[in-house]
Amino acid sequence: MKLFIDSGDVDEIREAQSMGAIDGVTTNPSLLAKAGRPTKDVITEICEIVDGPVSAEVIATDTQGILREGRELAKLHPNVVVKVPLIKDGLKAVRTFTDEGIKTNVTLCFSAPQALMAAKAGATYISPFVGRIDDIGGDGMELIGQICTIYDNYDLETEVLTASIRHPQHFLQAALIGSHVATVPFNVIVQLLQHPLTDKGLAKFLEDAKKIPQG
């Protein structure tokens, strides 16, 4: 399973990249607003840090507006993936982007039928939001399983990108189910490395190392 970082903070992205495990980046307007810089500047800098897909989201909600914004974003760098909302006008734009060779990430997916429609439109990635489904009493990981099964049934090329991950268990479940990608906030990436037995074992090794005679 590929690991993307979900962030608009270039310092976080650079730190995650230095760990050697990051395959790409997802951003959204909320994350980029925290950066306090023009979107194009931040996306360009991110593309220079991570050599992999970098999702940049359009703001428009009409087909022509989405196409206009998406084409401008795609010109920034070959690694840019245009992030499009899962609405009727969005899927119309996705079909055009696909015909033009522009990669897309269809976002705000909350049902398997939505995911199937996005795949039929030619989406490169589909982003189901598991955490937000859990927040309203649903089962976000069940949705990931449904989408993976449907895509496998029909050999659809769209990749399942598990999003809105809140904790390491979401990440583990996504990997077990067979999600192609998980996009994870920096704090959760750090949590993936943590285990109390690792800390305990390291402390023991370091303590014992002090007892080794120095030659």
Helices 88-99, 112-121: crossing angle, 10 deg rounding: 30
Is 204 in the active site?
no
| Single-letter code of the amino acid located at 97 | F
In the beta sheet, which residues pair with residue 57?
83
The structure tokens listed for 75 are 């010109």
Contact by Cβ (8 Å): 88, 117: no
| Given 2, 34, 40, 83, the catalytic residue | 83
The pair of three-digit structure tokens given for residue 108, joined into one six-digit string: 């705000």
CA 121 to chain centre: 20
Active site residues per annotation: 83
